[in-house]
Structure 1
């Protein structure tokens, strides 16, 4: 039994259908035949009963004449009527009794003399009944011969008279069931093979599919069979999702390699500085307190720079791997307000003024709603404000930062102004490159790169200009507002900020 299970599981669909039809069709034939046999038996019984009624009507006058002749003692007439009665009966049995129950005549097939025959109903309205005698069944019709001096006429026929016809029908049904098994099996197998041919072709095409080609090489042609076409569509969808997952996995691996390479390259200098300072401390335990304090401060700076660099690289890699499900309708004012509050908590010395121009919240109360990633927009606002706080001030003076929000031509516009030295026109594109920083900058050189990355993910633009006052620097970001009934565009397919060295703002 165990050895037969794999063979049964590997049986083709056409074979399964053929076996099922070979078993089911004979059962249906037998069931239908049983119903037909019952109907035929009922019809034959009805014909037999009709025949008995016809014979009774035919012999009733002769029976009446026979009883009259017997009562009058007319022997010759009695003999003639008895002969006429038996001739008219043909193939049924006849029994005639007088009013006292004395047998007058009988002939033809008949139950034994000890059998109890039915009595006629009033007005001869009764029909044939079945009488069992000597192991046989008989259909008996009783009729009252006369009304004045009633006698009884019985017309009898054996029930088995219909058996040859019933047996013939039963034999034909059995032969039909026997022949139906192979014929239905072969026909079902041929039809199933024809019906499953598109499915087999689909399976062969899927088996021969090159894994490197993916869904693009599947190329299913409509077969006209709905189930097969639905299965092909499902396979194409599964292959497309598989391709997408492979692409995401490849992108994640490439991002991890780039992260490792970038971290290795950029951490080399601060690590060497740490090592040098540690060597000095180790080799000169008797350093003056002033020199030791200076080296310790350098160690703290290098340590902070390492942490900032690793955090920025991790955030950059997170932006390269963010999924489209993370995006949704979002009011740009929310992450901007949160970033201002965080900057005031961490750096109380800059003066930050958040401006909301007229039209920030329209009549519909919609605000500046964009299709955005909340964490990504928070990265934008945090880095813009942090960059302005570090670089946007003049020597000896605290930074003065102005954050503006307004809508313009279907876009949300976010501006960050400072009163620092500004950025020369020729250097404005380069500030978004990875690890680009001024010589005296304490940052990692990835803050504005993160800004440019997130702006690109949100399908916006970022530019460096001058504020209206003419001094300092303005970084302006424009993001498309969410339009009613507008389709949501997918994320950019090429995301390589942690691997590339430049950005387009």
Structure 2
């Protein structure tokens, strides 16, 4: 059923009901007014008639017949539209319209009352006039036909007639108006019904109609189609990136696997291999296995960073995370010379496992690639407050004494599988670092050492919360590091248990150089 028809039916039903309800109220008000008017008229006539009746009673039964007849005539003339009944010494005087048969007349009714005679209602007023004394029965009655019900019946008929006429007229008029009012909606429906995002790139063109609901609906449809286009584009990009990643990952995995296969074939085909050569082959086999295992571990860590949930974030003391990472480096690499300067009490809202992994990889990268020319690994770690009260940040720097990173390659070091010619790593360590820093709304930058010595500085800036208990909100930038896609979390509060992969993406990913 069309909207205009629904509106017409609703109005066609509601208008008669409103007319009947208004008529019912009108009948009560009109009835009260009519009765009050008739009562006031009867009381006004009673004043004149009572005066003439008293004058008649003063001469009734005396030796003044001429005067008696004159005053009786005056009394009768004053009661032409009102019936009277007067009890006099010489008999009863009646005139005007009266109930027939005469009902039992009320006593002591200074206000008009209603009596019924032969299915006709009469207003009756009784008075004591002339020789009637206090305590005696009234000797004057006034009668007036009660026409209130007749007039109300006429009003009632007109109200019902008005309701019956109003129903079709209101329905038809409303249908015409509603059909005209929804015409912009029908035009919008015709324009949108022909749109098929799967087969055509044509999109909704809307000219403002100055009708709020229509314009809002059109803008909503345009937004939905735009988001559909955006999602289709991102899906295509994701598929392309996933294919590229799969090809790169398969190549990176194939190299150590082929090397391991070659070494296994050598061991299998030459059971009498020289012990020195055999040890070399086994050592190479172990290195390739470690490389393959490290590659798989890093891929798993990247996937964890993309799928972390909002409730995994809590208030962390960054100093404690840094101390744990430095202790782990000293434990696994006793030859590393690490100096640490920290400012305690710098709290961040973060994922502890992700931040620990990022710091671990920064320190491991400095130990691996930041050795001095004499082969020693000197690593200087500093954690301080930025000092900016408007945007408080925790600044973490990791300095090494290696050959450094050329400016033109500082963006590449965060890309997947980017390794130096002699790098023993998987090429995903700094990618993982960049992922976690971006996940925590931070920035990472590759710089030269500020003291002018050879080496590289990795500088990380993270927002400081300044409180220990932080609600689980996650307005964080993120990037799908397995598919290469950039995304931003919704800036509203994320529900507990919301997957990071399910958060809405926004905007292009900032340049790696900016971090």
User: Same fold, TM exceeding 0.5?
Assistant: yes
1:395-410 equivalence runs, <5 A: 399-406=377-384
Q: Which residue of 2 aligns with 1:116?
A: 104
Range that drifts further, 49-58 or 263-272: 49-58
Q: Write the mapping of 1:442-461 to structure 2, written as runs, cut at 5 A.
A: 442-451=424-433, 460=443
Alignment partner of 1:390 is 2:359:
no
Which segment drifts farther, 227-236 or 184-193?
A: 227-236
Once the two structures are TM-superposed, the CA of residue 272 in structure 1 deviates from its matched residue by 1.4
In structure 2, the partner of 1:184 is 170
Q: Does 1:418 align with 2:400?
A: yes
Q: Does 1:91 align with 2:91?
A: no
Aligned pairs for 1:67-106 (under 5 A) are 67-68=57-58, 70-72=60-62, 81-98=71-88, 104-106=92-94
Q: Report the secondary structure of 1:402's partner residue.
A: strand
Give the equivalent residue in structure 1 for 2:25. 35
Contact in 2 for aligned 1:455/1:462 (Cα 8 Å): no
Instruction: Determine the C-alpha separation between the residues in 2 that align with 1:113 and 1:178.
Output: 41
Q: Does the 8 Å CA contact 2:259/2:288 hold for their aligned counterparts?
A: yes
Q: How many residue pairs align between the two structures? A: 474
Using structure 2 for the length normalisation, give the TM-score: 0.73
Residues 425/179 of structure 1: CA separation in 2 closer, same or farther (3 Å cut): closer
Match of 1:146 in 2: 130
SS of structure 1 residue aligned to 2:16: helix
2:151 match: 165
CA gap 1:425/1:75 in 2 versus in 1, 3 angstroms: closer
Question: Paired residue for 2:9, among 13, 16, 19?
Answer: 19
Given that 2:52 and 2:74 are in contact with CA atoms closer than 8 Å, whether structure 1 keeps it comes out as yes
Determine if contact 2:53/2:129 at 8 Å carries over to the other structure.
yes
Consecutive unaligned residues of structure 1, counting only runs of 5 or more, are: 1-10
- 1:298 to 1:165, Cα distance in 2 relative to 1, 3 A: same
Q: Which residue does 2:264 correspond to in 1?
A: 278
2:395–2:460 CA contact under 8 A, matched in 1: yes
Give how far 1:27 is off.
Answer: 1.4
1:326–1:251 CA distance, 2 compared to 1 (3 A): farther
Residue 16 of structure 1, CA deviation: 1.6
Q: Secondary structure at the match of 1:176?
A: helix
C-alpha displacement at 1:197, in angstroms?
4.0
Helix, strand or coil at the partner of 2:78: helix
Report the CA distance shift for 1:232/1:480 in structure 2 as closer, same or farther (over 3 A).
farther
**What SS does structure 2 have at the residue aligned with 1:89?**
coil
Structure 1 residue 136 and structure 2 residue 126: aligned? no
Q: How far apart, CA to CA, are the structure 2 residues paired with 1:146 and 1:426? A: 130
Is this contact kept in 2: 1:66–1:78, CA < 8 A? yes
Per-residue deviation, 1:389: 2.3
Tell me if the contact between 2:365 and 2:429 (Cα under 8 Å) persists in the aligned partners: yes
Deviation per CA, 1:60-115: give whole Å up to 9, x if none. Answer: 3443354455533766665555554333211332211247xx95122443335562
Please, which runs of 5 or more residues in structure 2 have no aligned partner?
467-473, 487-510
CA distance in 1, matches of 2:350, 2:202: 31
Q: Distance in 1 between matches of 2:310 and 2:228?
A: 17
Contact 2:306 2:479 in 1 (8 A): no
Tell me, in whole angstroms, the C-alpha distance in 2 between the residues paired with 1:426 and 1:107. 127
Answer with 23-32 or 411-420: which moved more.
Answer: 411-420
Give the structure 2 partner of residue 462 of structure 1: 445
* Distance change >3 Å, CA 434–CA 53, structure 1 → 2: closer
**1:129, distance to aligned residue in structure 2 (A):** 0.9
For residues 417-496 of structure 1, the aligned pairs below 5 Å read 417-420=399-402, 422-423=403-404, 425=406, 429=410, 431-432=413-414, 434-451=416-433, 460=443, 462-463=445-446, 465=448, 468=451, 470=453, 473-477=455-459, 479=461, 491=477
Query: TM-score, normalised to structure 1's length?
Result: 0.74
Cα distance in 1, alignment partners of residues 407 and 126 from structure 2:
128
Contact 1:459–1:480, Cα closer than 8 Å, also in 2: yes
Decide whether the 8 Å contact of 2:125 with 2:143 is kept in 1.
yes
Contact between 2:203 and 2:225, CA under 8 Å: does it hold in 1?
A: no
